[in-house]
Amino acid sequence: MTVNIGDRYSKSDAPTMVWTVSRILEKVAPVPHAILIVEGLSGRQITLSVPALETASMYTKLKAQ
């Protein structure tokens, strides 16, 4: 699976909250990370490793709108 800017995810334990990838950080750490912003609340963001987003038990990639 590939993570791209604009991809949408929901967390397994909070499926109604939708997170959108706004930026990908590839050169900051040995493992690429993505900055995600919650839809409707642009001030709320998280930074996650790409492998965490690709873990199906943690996050679900949603279909494009």
Contact partners, residue 4, CB within 8 Å, separation at least 6? 21, 24
Q: What is the pLDDT of residue 61?
A: 93
Confidence of residue 13 (pLDDT cuts 50, 70, 90): confident
Q: What is the pLDDT of residues 20-29, one digit of tens each?
A: 999 999 877 7
In a domain, 2, yes or no: no
Domain around 37: 8-62
The span from the CA of 5 to the CA of 54, in Å, is 14
% of the chain residues with pLDDT over 70:
97
Confidence of residue 1 (pLDDT cuts 50, 70, 90): low
In a domain, 1, yes or no: no
Q: Identity (one letter) of the amino acid at 17?
A: M
In a domain, 14, yes or no: yes
**Overall number of domains in the chain:** 1
Q: What is the model's pTM?
A: 0.86
Q: Identity (one letter) of the amino acid at 43?
A: G
Asked if the model's pLDDT at residue 46 lies above 70, the reply is yes
In a domain, 33, yes or no: yes
